[in-house]
Structure 1
Amino acid sequence: MSLRETHIDRIRDGSFDTLIVGGGINGAVSAASLAGRGASVALIDRGDFAHFTSQASSNLVWGGFKYLENYELWLVFKLCQSRNRLMRSYRANIQQIPFYAALDKAGPHPPWFAGLGALAYWVIGGFGTRRPRLLSRERIEQEEPAIDTTNVAGGIEYRDGVLIDNDARFVFSFVRSAIEAGAAAANYVELVSAVRKGDRWIARLRDVDTGEEFLTTARTIVNAAGPFVDETNRGWGTTTDHRIVYSKGIHLVVPRLTTNRHDQVLAFYDDTERLFYVIPMGRRSVIGTTDTRVDTPYTEVTADDVEFLLDQINDRMDLDPPLTSADIIAERCGVRPLVVKSRGGDQTEVDWTKLSRKHAIETDRDERVVTIFGGKLTDCLNVGEEVAAEIEAIGIPLEKDLHNWFGEPAKATRKEFFRQARLMKLDGLRTKPDVEPLSDRLWRRYGRRAFAMLDAIRSEPAMAEDIMGSADYIRIELHEAARSEMVTKLEDFMRRRSKIELVVPDADIESSAGLREVAEILFGADDADRRLAEYFGGDDRVPEAVRMGPRPSDATRTAADALVSPR
């Protein structure tokens, strides 16, 4: 039985302290916080975990430098404190990174003024990063020749944090934490209805993958449906003082644009005087984000979006040849759910351009429903703690918060892992250029679970082989994903547990013979064909190279069987 099936069995006809609806960052962190303090928790999402807004962020952990323009000093202070705590707690996953901003002569702020803002940002942030720098035009030309300095007056450099892997994988780390603390969690489980009877909620759920419907009960509900919180509350009759408006943002993933340094974010003001960035993603660069008012959470990248971003970056960087749509490897598109006070009437009443990414938590104490509005990845730990406080206040007793529901393993555990990796010469098993050491990657992605992966590689060296070439994923990682990461569709792995779809061109994926083995490892030989057909949009559209690819060997299956069984 798979991990997902095990957890659906627990949720079916179960009785919980809290049912959490929505498996994005807000739902995942709430589940981890509550389960870590002893509550019985069920977490569901009608799609994959982090499949909506939480997979479309900028991958940045930042205090909101741009919010200084609206004098939201308290919000910036709180976000910087959250950023600092995340960077301390996730030293392998979140890296301090320079933001290198080139300021045009006709831009909204002269360099000296922006420099004062950067200094204030550093002070408000409790000196949690390296101090900022004021940059002359000549220094920018010397340090990053890719920037076109024709109209540049100068610049600044300040620092924030960046996720080394992708945002969706970071969200799933909280789902894993919740599971390890005893929570039941299942993706592709939809809330059909919820009715309060006596002191409990009776929820009818549907397994989206099989169509099965079943019941579960809970004393309280957390509505963490992100862009869909208003719709979800209407479904069970809860009214709130807050609501959500939507701002669409897109990113374009292209080949690396920087020349001298690849570990910094380039920042520019676009023609509308809004900041946009060039963010490193391994061997790629991510351009974005835009900010467009929309009335629906369902969005897509348009030709106008692409043209706008390409024009902006070509005007500000000295690229030969200039970027075109043919250079785009992947697109990211999502909505920011921005929280406002309910005033009735149409959403167009809101001046959405001045809204920040703050969150609001509202509790209906009579119905025992907690709703999370808005928010961003940087503030996730505060959201988890605040939700736990609300659940405790409406009658669910919780244990003392020991802060053990988040963060990476202790330094001694990390030291022991790298000692073992050195002894077995793990990093010497691969010779691919321009990739990080394998020991660093396994530790960052899997923590304590990486010890069992070392054992599997010792028993079968083929477990350390890349399966898909340019995707940079080794065989043991696929077996670990199949065992413990609740991969239900091939897209879950390709887009969210990994970032393969974001950094590998479609043509390379379609010509990868190793994708067949990936599917068999993740879903078994009996289900691999169905999942491949689902991924490519039909059985007749599965590329021949994939269809005829190799199968997992008996030796690697035996080594994988030695991994610890899932909870």
Structure 2
Amino acid sequence: MNRKKNWERLRQETFDVCIIGAGASGAGAALDAALRGYKVALIDRSDFSSETSSRSTKLIHGGVRYLEQAIKKLDLAQLRQVKHGLAERRTVVRNAPYLAHPLALLTPVFSWFEGLYMTIGLTLYDFIAGRDAFPGGKWLNQKEALALSPKLTRKMHSAVLYYDGQLNDARYALALVQSADEAGAAVVNYAALTEFNPENGTIKAATIENQLTGETITLRANVFLNCTGPYSDAIRLLANPSLDRRIRPSKGVHIVLPRETLNSDCAILIPKTSDGRVVFAIPFGDKVFVGTTDTDFSDLAHEPVLEPAEVDYLLETVRPYLDQTPNKADVQSGFGGIRPLIVSSRTDTKTLLRDHEVELDETSGLLSLLGGKWTTYRLMAQDAIDRVSEQLGKSERSKTETHYLVGGENYRYEDWQLLQKAYNLPPDTCQHLMRTYGNRAEHIAKLIQSQANLAEKITDEQPFIKAEVVYQVREEMAVTLRDVLARRWRLELSDWSLTAQVAPQVADLMATELGWSATYRNSQLQSYQNLLASFAKQAGLVADGAAISAV
């Protein structure tokens, strides 16, 4: 992806559709529209998937909690969500198998009745899913459960095993963006829509500001599609100030613990919390993510961050399910995201519908894709581009259900061994490259042939090598330290201190590739390390914050 070239396309061309927001739904919509043959512009005011879409629980699921609510309340809307989610999860895995895979989840129970109740529910869950690549669930006795997850509490009666999916959310969204780019879309990050320019009351152009240079241009498109998730109301009101707000933002946070907390490839579903939610403890790389919370959030001008009370809540929630209880000193980082829940008559964010809606504002002509979740991003995008087609007077159908994303076609994880043999890289690095870039892993390895030092690891604690930073700048439109460390790698999410330690090396590599001056490089580095320190301080992890500040 070439940012400079695509920016010039935004300036010069007239598009069928301009999609605002490059998270899961926006990137998915861009790919869908491009595959239908439309001229597509995809813009985001920050990096691709820099907000909600990179801060999920990393699950692809139908929604066990939705199924329970659907049965208890005879709620067909909740049941429809489960059905949509289970149908789409197989597609998410199929189209990018290097970024998504089935995940085993265990639910510890403390009586035979509770085990029977959960087993019946999850049997129904499997029945709705039908025959797919996901294994079926089963009820395990305590011995069988401990064999799979040895750190579970010995106080449990038994455990119920079932399967959903896991994905690397930020990289999956990036693969959607790259696929859209290769299908002909003009994709640009750090491009903010600041003003709509209506013609006879209908939007046909908008002012776009380059967030890196301050330059502004006029972008022309026949249809504008708003895919900005929790920020949708701001775009809707920019187009038509008389509209009612439709989004009720909900904050969800995760804490990050060492892999040894579970010492298992199985996740844990905690079905009972003090506020009536479910919480997950999920292995992801060499860490365990525990979350999420669900609270109202109104301060959309600021990034949602982990707070001390949330750390305490999640530790207290997971504690009864583990034999050895983690404490605050074990928390290595955390992250927060904002769910874009659609306003309804329901009273709290735990019960608001998370299904999606495509809204047309008849006055301005703006289309807005509202609500939804990661699992059903493709279906959401398809529905949105169907409405775009109506506005354009065209009838092309979606082709995304069986379209492999970049890196996904003919992917074989076992090919890491061929990579190691050809380039003499460490086994963990080769495995990481295959899981991160799919069948394009060799593109990174080839950079080493012309510059041998790019084979060096960034840190002995991780499989990352210097060639990846070069590749991410040249081919994945990474332009800031956080683009690399938070999204193209997921290091910021998992370890604030280690992220701060490796940031200088990443800054040096990016400075060479992007032509940064020494002054700019130093200011970017200092600003990012200050941000990491502030995360630790705001979470009440003062010692970690002090350590980061000292790097």
TM-score bracket, shorter-length normalisation: 0.7 to 0.9
Equivalent residues of 2:261, 2:326 under 8 A apart: no
Cα distance between partner residues in 1 of 2:115 and 2:242: 47
Offset at 1:404?
A: 8.0
Which one of the candidate residues 201, 204, 227 is aligned to 1:201? 204
Query: Quick check: 2:334–2:494 contact (8 Å CA) kept in 1?
Result: no
Instruction: Look up the match of 1:556.
Output: none
Q: Provide the C-alpha distance between the structure 1 equivalents of 2:141 and 2:415, rounded to a whole number of angstroms.
A: 45
Give the aligned partner of residue 74 of structure 2.
none
Query: Partners of 1:516 and 1:87 in 2: how far apart?
Result: 34
Q: Which runs of 5+ in 2 are unaligned?
A: 71-77, 535-547
Shift in Å, 1:464 = 2.9
2:136 corresponding residue in structure 1: 131
Seen in structure 2, the aligned counterparts of structure 1 residues 408 and 308 have a Cα distance that, compared at 3 Å, is same
Structure-2 separation of matches of 1:413 and 1:155: 37
Tell me the equivalent position of 2:188: 186
Give 1:143 shift: 3.7
1:42–1:9 distance in 2 versus 1, CA, 3 Å: same
Q: Quick check: 475-484 or 500-509, which moved more?
A: 500-509
Residue of structure 2 in register with 1:156 after alignment? 160
The aligned residue for residue 476 of structure 2 is 485
Give the alignment of 1:404-553 within 5 angstroms: 406-408=403-405, 413-414=410-411, 422=418, 425-426=421-422, 428-430=424-426, 435=428, 438=430, 440-447=431-438, 449-507=440-498, 509-510=500-501, 514-526=505-517, 527-537=520-530
Is 2:281 aligned against 1:285? no
Paired amino acid for 1:235? L
Aligned-partner Cα distance in 1 for 2:58–2:91: 16
How many Å separate the matches in 1 of 2:313 and 2:513?
A: 39
8 Å Cα contact 1:13/1:214 also seen in 2: no
Alpha-carbon distance in structure 1 between the residues aligned to 2:455 and 2:502: 21
Provide the secondary structure at the position in 1 that maps to 2:461.
helix
Paired residues of 1:144 and 1:258 also in contact (CA < 8 A): no
Shift of 1:401: 3.6
State the shift of 1:352 in Å. Answer: 2.9
What is the identity, as a one-letter code, of the residue corresponding to 2:310?
A: D
Q: 2:60 touches 2:165 (CA, 8 Å); kept in 1?
A: yes
**What is the aligned length?**
522
**Counterparts of 1:63 and 1:121 in 2: how far apart (Å)?**
8
Distance 2:453 2:361 in 1: 55
The structure 1 residue matched to 2:321, chosen from 316, 320, 328, is: 316
TM-score, normalised to structure 1's length? 0.84
Pairing of 1:144-293 with structure 2 (within 5 A): 144-150=149-155, 152-163=156-167, 166-198=168-200, 201-237=204-240, 243-258=246-261, 261=264, 263-268=265-270, 269-293=272-296
C-alpha displacement of 1:367: 3.6
Residues in 1 aligned to 2:454 and 2:363: alpha-carbon distance in whole angstroms: 54
CA–CA separation in structure 2 for the residues paired with 1:469 and 1:413: 31
Offset of residue 371 of structure 1: 0.7
| 1:239/1:91 CA distance change after superposition, 3 Å | farther
Aligned-pair RMSD on alpha carbons?
A: 3.1
Q: Secondary structure at the match of 2:249?
A: strand
**Secondary structure of the structure 2 residue equivalent to 1:228:** helix
Report the residue type matching 1:185 in the other structure: V
Question: Is the 2:22–2:48 Cα contact (8 Å) retained in structure 1?
Answer: yes
Q: What whole-Å deviation, never above 9, does each CA across 1:476-527 have from its counterpart, x for those lacking one?
A: 2111101021112111111011101123341563267633433335533535
Q: CA deviation at 1:145?
A: 2.9
Secondary structure of 1:30's partner?
helix
Change (3 A) 1:211 1:242: closer
Q: Return the match for 2:330 from 327, 332, 337.
A: 327
Q: Matches of residues 92-131 of structure 1 in structure 2 within 5 Å?
A: 92-105=98-111, 110-128=114-132, 129-131=134-136
TM-score by length of 2: 0.86
Distance 1:423 1:260 in 2: 28
1:366-405 correspondence runs (5 A) = 367-395=364-392, 397=394, 399-403=396-400
- Counterpart mapping for 1:11-160 below 5 A: 11-71=10-70, 72-105=78-111, 110-128=114-132, 129-150=134-155, 152-160=156-164
Specify every segment of 5 or more residues in structure 1 that has no aligned partner in the other structure, as ranges. 344-348, 550-567
The structural deviation recorded for 1:458 is 4.2
- The question of whether the paired residues in 1 share the 8 Å contact of 2:237 and 2:243 is answered with no
| C-alpha distance 418-517 of structure 1, shift in aligned 2 (>3 A) | farther
| Cα distance per residue 1:269-311 (max 9 Å; x no partner) | 2233421111011111111111223334443322111111112
1:45-93: per-residue Cα shift (whole Å, max 9, x none)?
A: 1122111111210011111111011112222111100001112222222
